[in-house]
Amino acid sequence: MALPLSRRHFLGLSACSLATAGLAPLLGAGGKARAQQLPPTVRGMDAPDAVLLNYNENPLGPFPEAREAALAAMGRANRYLFGLQREFTALFATRNGLGEDRVAGYCGSGVALDGAALAFCSPQAGLVTADPTFESLAQMAGAHGTPVRRVPLRADGAHDVQAMAHAAAETRAGLVYVCNPNNPTGSITPRADIDWLLAHKPAGSVLLIDEAYIHYSDEPDTLDLVRAGADAIVLRTFSKIYGMAGLRLGLAAARPDLLRELLLSGANSLPVPSVAAGIASLEHPGHLAARKAGNTRLREATVAWLAARGYACLPSQANCFMVDVKGDGRAFTTAMARHQVFVGRSWPAWPNHVRITVGTEAEMARFREAFAKVVAGA
């Protein structure tokens, strides 16, 4: 459904591909940036005692085995090592019952999101997404003339799949995007709803399922859809529970024909230390349960603390949650920064809600201390 891209058009998009962490600019109609490629420097964020709860990073960092593997791989980082990259994607494929031709590696999931926008969207093939949700896909698609329909989340934070299917039919959507658990809310969309959306989307469109936070949740993943050959692409990243945000590593899983359409999934080399760390992470899945449990305990304790003080949070199964601060979210974020606690932002659809990343025990204690002072006007 999407229009083919010329080489000149494709090369003009390269700057947009820097949106890997969701920190890139909003883009203008011609694909030109209207803001900085990197977020502005915020005073105090680099201080040794700063508490960073703003970008959904994992404060624990990579698994110990992944750190060792990355350091060991530095000695070979002067080579492209495509064989190591194939080992990485093959390991993921084997662990998940997929053919090796159904998995491609990326520098994080942002590049795959960009590739999906370019491959499956156009002025004649719209994008349907939730509101609020992770924004880089809509930014890329909208920058190049794609009609973007933002469908409000349900009251419980789940995607409104019936409304999304209706919007997809109206826009002749080439792509329907579901982030599950969702960013920024951490809310989940039940698997039955995802299956319903896949069955009721327009014929020929693609369902893009972003599972960046799936390991934090109790929800089943959707890789079985890839095994079944569905019109679906599943994205994974090592930036969250694996603690590798700065190493930039991710995967896309889909039918071979859909992977080819992503454009950026060819023979591009991935960073050798990142790939080595990714392999080590996949080889030590036992760490996942402990990290999930620790994150859940701290998240739920913080949400309960807020609720006891009259501040409601949306149900979350991720390493973040949204709290209703009962006022301007931007002002709240600024006030928290004065206490050296840096939290996420609010979204236009929910200006009074602020996203909070789950940090360490000590960091969440600092968050509670600063929150109490801010709401008291200190």
pLDDT at 12 over 90: no
pLDDT of residue 208: 98
SS3 301: helix
What residue spans of the chain are helical by DSSP H?
7-11, 64-73, 82-95, 110-120, 136-143, 161-171, 191-200, 223-227, 256-261, 272-282, 286-308, 329-337, 361-375
pLDDT at 216 over 90: yes
Using 50, 70 and 90 to split pLDDT, how confident is the model at 262? confident
The stretch 114-143 carries a mean pLDDT of: 96
Please tell me the distance from the alpha carbon of residue 138 to that of residue 69, in angstroms, as a whole number: 35
Please tell me the distance from the alpha carbon of residue 161 to that of residue 110, in angstroms, as a whole number: 23
Using 50, 70 and 90 to split pLDDT, how confident is the model at 375? very high
Please tell me the distance from the alpha carbon of residue 89 to that of residue 278, in angstroms, as a whole number: 10
* Angle, CA 158 vertex, CA 152 and CA 160 arms, to 5°: 50
pLDDT of residue 37: 67
Please tell me the distance from the alpha carbon of residue 104 to that of residue 88, in angstroms, as a whole number: 9
pLDDT of residue 199: 98
The stretch 121-132 carries a mean pLDDT of: 97
Map out the domains of the chain with their CATH numbers. Answer: 51-56+287-375 (3.90.1150.10), 63-282 (3.40.640.10)
Quick one: which of 279, 256, 286 has its CA closest to 98?
256
Here the tokens at position 272 are 């050798």
pLDDT of residue 41: 77
Here the tokens at position 140 are 């890329």
pLDDT of residue 369: 98
Per mean pLDDT, which range of 1-5, 82-86, 255-259, 266-270 is the poorest? 1-5
Using 50, 70 and 90 to split pLDDT, how confident is the model at 264? low
pLDDT at 182 over 80: yes
Per mean pLDDT, which range of 2-6, 203-207, 231-235, 259-263 is the poorest? 2-6
In terms of Cβ atoms closer than 10 Å to its own Cβ (0-12, 13-18, 19+), residue 151 is buried
| Count of Cβ atoms closer than 10 Å to residue 310 Cβ | 9
Sign of the CA dihedral 99, 104, 110, 112?
A: negative
Please tell me the distance from the alpha carbon of residue 79 to that of residue 204, in angstroms, as a whole number: 40
Using 50, 70 and 90 to split pLDDT, how confident is the model at 8? very low
**pTM (predicted TM-score):** 0.91
pLDDT at 224 over 80: yes
